[in-house]
Amino acid sequence: MLLALTGGPAAGKSTFGRLLAARRAFETFDADGCVHELLAADPEIIAAVAGEFGAGVLDPAGAVHRPALRALVFADHMARRRLEAIVHPAVRTRWLEQSARCRAAGRDFLADIPLLFETGAERHFDATVTVSASVDVRRRRLQGRGLDQGTIEALLASQLPMEEKISRAASVVWNDGTLGALARQADLLLERLFFSPQP
């Protein structure tokens, strides 16, 4: 089973992914984590980002300073598109290779991809899940991460509307409640995907 998770900022998809992985032996892939790794340690990606946005986005160690880069790209949607053109191909190559290895070995694969539908990646998976929460709850969670209001609104506006992500997913998880309620949804999803008779 190749399973993809998506959802809006602060919807809780990473938490839900961890709950799934604790219950079943998935190989996992985290697209955001992959981006952070590339910006910190991949020389070609770092050079491309510095060439596109200037040396001011680098920290003293020569890695990309993510807060400085975030301030640039969320203030200008075209800048965000330029950054995505640099990092997305490398991220896509990694999860495609990992999912192909899992498919060949008969292993379950779980990918957390925020821009799943925006990049047309859903066609590579057997099932898709959107993790959602009300916009007020997501705003509060982002505030709790220390983000200012302008950055929060830019983050919320940077992806497809949640309604579209919900309509395009095979399954939807709602995460306005407790961790226990989210865990129960993880159990129900796995039961449906792996133990229910398939049509």
Name the burial class of residue 61, with classes exposed (0-12), middle (13-18) and buried (19+) by CB atoms within 10 angstroms of its CB.
exposed
- For 106-160, the pLDDT digits (tens) are 999 999 999 999 999 999 999 999 999 999 999 999 999 888 888 888 888 878 8
- What domains can you pick out in the chain, each with its CATH number? 2-177 (3.40.50.300)
Please check the confidence at residue 86 and state whether its pLDDT lies above 80: yes
- pLDDT at residue 15 in the model: 95
pTM of the complete model: 0.88
Q: Say yes or no to pLDDT of 198 above 70.
A: no
Structure tokens at 86: 């640099």
- pLDDT of residue 199 exceeding 90, the answer is no
What are the angstrom distances between the C-alpha of 44 and each of 40, 60, 82, 90? 11, 18, 15, 10
More reliable by pLDDT, 113 or 68 = 113
